[in-house]
Amino acid sequence: MSTLRQALYGFALLGALALLIWGQEKRIDVAEGQTQLAKDAAKTARDDADRNLATANTLSTTLKQERDAQSNLRTQQDQLRLSLAKRERTIEDLKRENSELRDWAAQPLPDAARRLRERPALTGAAAYRDWLSGRGAVPTTGDQPAQ
């Protein structure tokens, strides 16, 4: 082989080597870009997970408070039921003991008191306001004639 041919082979080899190195450098640049994107995505995912964990903790705390409040309300309701039952027993005992009270309790309610207890099925504040301002409303004490 002649020197010229060896020189051309050497330049071709150097060119191929330079092209290979340049290609590898581009692949490394692309891989580094993808790595950075993956790191950014992982950071975003971590931040989302931290926010979700904080939200879950807040919801868990709120749920515990709600359950405690419900438990307290049930306890209070039970106490009120016991108190009501005790009062009803006391009233029944008093009715049995006192004939005057028994006769008073057996009388029907006066018309004004009966109208207070009669209400149509109301749905919402507007219906209640309309019912109050309608003809069936009980007059105030100043509007009633003297008895």
pLDDT at 56: 97
At residue 110, what is the residue type? P
Is the pLDDT assigned to residue 143 strictly greater than 60?
no
Domain ranges of the chain: 3-117
- pLDDT of 141 > 70? The answer is no
Q: Is the pLDDT of residue 73 over 90?
A: yes
Output the six-digit token pair for 61: 């705390």
Phi, psi of 119 (to 5 degrees): -140, 140
Average pLDDT (69-81) is 96
Please tell me the predicted confidence (pLDDT) of residue 1. Answer: 62
Query: 125 versus 136: which is more confidently predicted?
Result: 125
Secondary structure (3-state) at 135: coil
Q: Report whether pLDDT(145) > 70.
A: no
